[in-house]
Structure formats: C-alpha cells, structure tokens
Structure 1
C-alpha cells in the first residue's frame, strides 16, 4: 500500500466503487471519526506518465485548483467540495462531497427535452457554479453533463476539476483541453483563451437539455471540431418548435464565436430567461 493510500485509510473507511474513468476510480468512503459519507476519487499516476505529461500535470494540480474554487466560504453552493487530499508518487486521492442523485447526463439521456422552467433552474445553478469559480480565478475547462452531479437533496453540483486551470493573475490559458462536443472554438483553433470557454460549454449543455441533441456534431472528433469551428448554430424546428425565443436568445449569446460578445457566467444569471423561468432554483 502506498503512503498516500495508507494515510487515506487511516482517516476514511473505503467502500464500494461508484464510478470509473480513464485513469481512476471513484469509491464511496466514510469518515473514520464521524461516519459521514463522502466519495474518494483516486487517480493513478503511472498511466498518465505513459500517455501525456499534460494529463499528469493536471492531475497533480487538481487538488490545489479544486480547493481554491470550493474552499470555505464556498464560492458557490453548486460546487462539489473538496474535503481532503492525499498524494504520493503513485496516485492522487481526493475526498469529495458524495452526490448520490446521479448526474445530468443520465437525466438528459432519460428525459430530454426538459421543460423550460426545469432547464432554466438547472442552468441557473450551473451558471452560479461557474460564476463562483471565475470569481476565484478558476476555469473548469470541461463543463459537460457527465461532470454535473446532484446531491441527496437534488441540488446541482459541478465537479471533476481534473482539467481546471487557474487564471487569477491575468494569464491567458492555452491547450486543447475538454471534450469534443462541448469545447469552445477558440480552444480548438489553438488560440489563447479565457474563462468564457466555460460559458460556451454550458451553452451546449443548455441546448442538450432543451432538445436532447448537441448543436455541433460529426462522426469523429475531427469532424466535431470542424463543426465547432464553423459555429453555425441552428435550431431545427422538429427539436425546437416549442422552445421560447428567450431561450434561443440566451443560447445564441452563450454559443457566440466572438468571445468579446459572449456572455460571462454572471451575465447568464441576469438573462431574462433565467430570471423569469429559473427563479425558483436555489442559487448562492
């Protein structure tokens, strides 16, 4: 047993596996002192060393960036909080909020298109999470339904900061990071970019919630990237016949190729569609 895992097990009782990714696993765990339930995300370093040094660097900085975004007082109630981190030469172990309510991908897959009030309420919570991150100088860089979770009370929580970056000193970010369907055009183009890449990705999430489809697609990652670069946003009548003009206006402003004209996360929260349709969502 490595030193990091030994330290983890000295404070937490490790339970069953509840999720798995390319390089790690998520397991249920419990505080040895209080019995309080959490989740522990464990990322092995060896596969990252062999595949991509950038992935390894992101995994090693994830605890610092995640803590910056979620540390008390939290920047937003809609962020998965990091409670403890254990690291050694072999792995990184992060103890996180347990979110037993599933994720947004499962919800959208089962029920989309969602009614506008529900979609607006979810988007209000997601935009609040992003605004909180951005106030702390953190860009998430991998906003997608798979990384949006629900706690036991059904409150939305943005998690998985494995691709996040700190821009708080005014630095521009670079690098092709994210997931093809959701990544912003300036990222695909190889240009420097700012935190508004998260707003673009959230715009794709909103499009999915209201239609059950993605706005930019292709048969391969290359084709998807080409569609993203074109940025030709359409609202097919079959999927959007019952979607309001106000919702379409918000999506146009979020999925805007001109970054200077794209809304910030704070501006998304103030958009009339969010204010009127998502007003009952718990934000703060």
Structure 2
C-alpha cells in the first residue's frame, strides 16, 4: 500500500497542464525505473560530449514519401471514414478515433468548428501547413487528409497508440538517461525542421509528445504553431504557462528560443520526475511563473545524484534565462 499510495495521490491531484510528482516516490523509484522503448535503445544513445548528446547511430529516418501525398479536399468525411470514440478535447476542438472505410486503418481525426472568424480559420490552416511541412520527419505526426465542410474542419492523422509522455512518466516514473536522450533527439529533430521553415511550435510539453507502442516518438498539436522571423519575437498566441520561457512571461512574446526552453523543461521532467520550478507540484500558476523568471532549476532532489554531469550541464544550457545565451536546436543536435 505504501508503494501505491504516492501514485494514487498523484493521480487525484493531477490537473491538466499541472505536473505534480510525489518527490519522495520519485527519488525512490528513479534508480529502478524500467528501461523501455525500442530494442537496443540503451546502446544507441548517451548523454556525452561534455555538454550535449552524442549518438552511436541515428534513430530518426525520413519517411521518404512526397509531401504532396496529403490530400486537401472539400467533401463528406463520413464517405471515407468512420468517426469513433472521443480521445481528447482541447481549446480549439476534439480528437476522435476513426477508421478508414476503404482500408480499415485506424486513424485519429481532429474536428474543429468553423466559426466564420478568419483568424480562427487561418490558425487551422497553419496547423495543417506545419504538419504537412514536417511530413518527412518521423517525429512529426503524419497527416493523411484534410477535409473542409461548411461548418467544420477535419484533420485526419495517424493514430498513435502508446500514450502521452506525461502519462508514461506518471505511471512509470522518470526515464533513464539513454531513453530520455533518444526522446529529446527525436523531438529536437522535429523542432529543427520547424525552425528551419521559420515556424515556432510554441506548446512543447509532455502532453504534446506521444509514443507508439514500439517506442517511436511523435510531436503533436500544431494548433498554436506560427511563422516567425528567427530574429523577432511574436505576440503570444497560445501555449502553457508552466512551459513558458522567462521572456514569454515577462513580455508576452514568443520566439524560436521559447521552444528550446520548453524542451529543457521536458527533459528535466523526463529525467528528474518533477517540474524544475515547482518541485513539490503544489505551486499555483502565478507562483510557477515567478519562479521561472527569477529562480534557478531545482536540482536539490536526491534523484539527481544518479544523473550524469553532462546531462545536468545540458539542462542548464537549455534553461538559460537569457534567450541569446540559450542553446539553439542546431547546437543541441550537434552535441
């Protein structure tokens, strides 16, 4: 009962967008957390090179399919797909499990209402464009088709069956470094592709990273993605406060460095098991925001005794307060 109690308390206290770990349980479990994922993963990737990641072999391969294979059409979704159970809800719409009537393939279908607002419609088209632009990277959710009707948009995507990173961490505890390194490399590669196209994801967090049952990583939810000049910030148009960079909290703007800060928070949580600026999982959003701006990451937990110095050094470089001093995604992937 003592072993199960922290998990039960954690599930009861968990709120969407609020990551709360029982730190005593995390410290006890961290060194015995199972190493899961693809076969041979532990030998394929290590935190190394002094400040970053070194890889014995690549884990990301292009899909080698033309971007044009994604269809955009006006039509009746029900002619081609069966809409099933709801998988999740968001600010902009709902995601359902679906099935292709022609092949029987399982898919995920994001349904977004058309409100008649031009900016809202443009947001949907930006999301589709971001997914379409990332079609050659395996860590970006594959889009199959895009439908428009008079009152809804329908984005038909691959169905990812392994669960959110957030749920995996809650249920299984922190990842060991090799598995965490592989995950960050995959997500970093997806971010690099977006940044190369001048796109900022703007909502990197464990809930938007999902894994297949085989351990393959997917970055999802491009609903707040926007185009940005690499030298300019843009007015805040979405995201999650707990993953905002200090400059976002201070000025309500986002730029490409914001994604790297959020990725640093994700890495911290994946290896350490708690939020770097809310170690007890009890702070309200306002307190967490103040901590992000003025405090340093909390490495006080005993779990960090078993984490390598290169990994901690990498975290410090991703979580620099000054965005000009923060690692770029290219620098991250070069280490």
1:250-265 equivalences under 5 Å are 250-265=314-329
Deviation for aligned residue 1:121: 0.9
- Do the aligned partners of 2:99 and 2:107 also contact (CA within 8 Å) in 1? yes
Unaligned regions of 5+ residues in structure 2, if any? 1-72
- Do the aligned partners of 1:174 and 1:187 also contact (CA within 8 Å) in 2? no
For residue 222 of structure 1, the aligned residue among 250, 271, 286 is 286
For residue 34 of structure 1, the aligned residue among 103, 121, 126 is 103
1:84-123 equivalences under 5 Å are 84-88=145-149, 90-123=151-184
Q: Cα gap change, 1:250/1:256 in structure 2, threshold over 3 Å: closer, same or farther?
A: same
Q: Cα gap change, 1:231/1:200 in structure 2, threshold over 3 Å: closer, same or farther?
A: farther
Find the aligned partners of 1:73 and 1:179 in 2 and give their Cα distance: 22
* Greater Rg by CA: 2
1:66 aligned to 2:127? yes
Find the aligned partners of 2:248 and 2:306 in 1 and give their Cα distance: 32
For residue 239 of structure 1, the aligned residue among 292, 295, 303 is 303
1 or 2 for the larger relative contact order (CA 8 Å, sep ≥6)? 2
Runs of 4+ in structure 1 off by over 6 angstroms are: none
1:7 aligned to 2:7? no
In structure 2, the partner of 1:179 is: 240
Deviation for aligned residue 1:113: 2.0
Q: Aligned to 1:236, what secondary structure does the other structure show?
A: coil
In structure 2, the partner of 1:282 is: none
Q: TM-score, normalised by structure 1?
A: 0.82
1:136-215 equivalences under 5 Å are 136-167=197-228, 172-175=233-236, 177-190=238-251, 192-215=253-276
Superposed CA RMSD: 2.5
Aligned residues: 260
